[in-house]
Structure 1
Amino acid sequence: MVKKAAYTVLPKGSVTAPLGYQAAGLHAGIKRKKKDVGLLLSTVPAAAAGVFTMNTVRAACVTQNEQQLQAMPYLQAIVVNSGNANACTGAQGDADAKAMQSHTAAELGLPSHAVAIASTGVIGVPMPMETLKQGITQAAGGVSEAGGDDFSEAMLTTDTCLKQIAVQLTIDGKTVTIGGAAKGSGMIHPNMATMLAFVTTDAKVDPAALQTLLRQTTDQTYNCITVDGDTSTNDMVLVLANGLADNHTLTPAHPDWADFAAAFRHVSEKLAKDIARDGEGATKLVEVHVKGAVSVSVATQAAKKVVGSSLVKTAVFGADANWGRILAAVGYSGIPFDAGRVNIWLGDVPVAQNGMGLSFDEEAAKAHLLGDTVQITVDLNLGDASATAYGCDLTYDYVRINASYRT
């Protein structure tokens, strides 16, 4: 029997859904027209956690935030800009990142270490600091509980939609809310896409437990998506927990920890799937479920390789039930398996058994591939472990968008 979820998804959710969070987003002029500076504020200091890109070419904001959280796992504000990644900008970029942080802190009356920064956009271009500072000043004067949508919009680049969610659950008899917002459409292949995600909660959570939970959840969600196989210089996920729900401090020893972790994972999984679904030029969300593996890590490795295969992605775009490409991707994934034991389904349609093709219903398979969500299942028949990875199809528009990103 499947246990009923302990949380409820709110019909309208954002990072300001939990108690004590305010936000703003506006057009400062870094981009030509759209919003490009966002600010998120907790009214009280919050326990914080973060995960960051594994790319060795890293933007200044990534390095600065990681060092800051290692020294002190508490934050009270996050400032983000789009239109400029402030990556590969040398010593000036490092100085600009610090100035972005200190200016935000001064405008909010906070110590600098209470502010995290995030940037996304074109790589290798100096940040227009005067424009950015003016935007931060304006945003600091306009934060409100109604500003969640504006904050979310301000960090978009090639995204076509806002990516937001909020859920609620009861802990120690108190209502706890978790909200989230993300951006990402291209350059998505996280190793912790350009990907940014921010999660807020009014729960009281031990900082070390929060960091462990975020890392575990990231491996199961954000690190299981891909759009184009490119890991960004600016990827990060930041979490704030300000404790205003007044519950007893959450750790794995708390009786409601499993419920909180499940709700937290739902928020992250929803944001991750929204990123995959909104891949540049994408028309379909692709879910690859690998089961019958000897371990979760093996299942994950195979699932990510299949969902990231350009040949699989183009077959999905063309609604071509080319199951051989799926098996081939498993074959070069590097996992130990026996091809003669593999079964494959497209939706509910079995297309291969024991590593060989079946005489399947081509029209039924094509009908599934024409849907907006395509599900591919691979059974390795070697064990009990499973994992799911998320991606999208590869279309003509992906090339068009990325051929002119700077212009």
Structure 2
Amino acid sequence: MSSKNIIADVFLEVANAIESGDFGPKVRIGLTTLGSEHGVENLVKGAELAKSKLFDIVLIGPKVDTDLEIVEVNEESEMHKKMEELLDSKYIDACVTMHYNFPIGVSTVGRVLTPGRGKEMILATTTGTSATNRIEAMIRNAVYGISAAKSIGIKNPKVGILNVDGARQVEKFLKELQSNGYGIEFAESMRADGGCVMRGNDLLAGTPDVMVTDTLTGNLLMKVFSSFTTGGDFESQGFGYGPGVGEDYDRKIFIVSRASGSPVVANALKYAYEAVLGNVSDVARNEYADAKKAGLDNIIASLNAKKEDKGEAEEVKMPDKEVVTHQIAGVDIMELDDAVAALWKKGIYAESGMGCTGPIVLVNEAKGEEAAAHLKEAGFIA
């Protein structure tokens, strides 16, 4: 479902509520107001901008001049304790806050407005740690991104994988999940060579609904997307760093930066409202169940086994050198040397290289098909 359709549905909901006079049980979204680099006033202004008949906003922080409800807290050290208390007691349904420490296995799913086409795009993920193994983390990030997208009304989100270290391995494993029945749909790069591994151009255009990346890169991208028009010290664009999503995580905590300005704070509150309506926690739980049916646990186990098996590298004799002009793409940068060594074991001379779309293995033209078949059999390419 497009953003236009989501907005249309919200307007229809508002119109029906106005006509009937029944807005139903109110969703309450909290907002902590201490800790911003731009002061309490900036956060309160964001809350005022977000005011709606669809949901109530509860400020958690010092007393200020506003019509909004305030749960008074005057120390930042006490603020998150109060927030957790209000969440766990169900007094609020979600909360927007800053600088929150999630447990390992939980990370946040950001939402930006791309400068190239003005399209919304989900960034999975932007803070937190989904797993300590990079490839495992990005696979989980894909599930988190799909969950967040579905919770805000995108029924069949198209997924792209940012061309960072590990992208090709992530592609291979996600496609394995897809072939085993997990309902993931892949985006196609806008560049001529296509594929679901996304280039910088796709970032600017918002090619996928969900862009999968490692969390540190996602955090950097959030900052660039949100403050590229302001010089960096005031985040004015987008919806913030998003909800903390995990396999079995129920607190709906949404993150903004200490540099987030009032427009981002307002959008983050609206993002929280949409994800509460779509019950992002339940969606994530269901997505995980589906991914596990498709073999997610086996994939994770194989990654951990591979990590443990990397002891002393086996010495492989290099075959006689040949002219290498045939390029084989799709091998991840982190496995490039291993892929070359695998071909040497088969008696095929190969070299590693870097093409315009990423890492490549170079072999003799006459041995291109044979080499590609060996690499596919060994799991280096999809």
Is the shorter-chain TM-score for this pair beyond 0.5, marking a shared fold? no
TM-score (ref. length: structure 2)? 0.26
TM-score by length of 1: 0.24
Which is greater in Rg?
A: 2
* Greater helix fraction, Structure 1 or Structure 2: 2
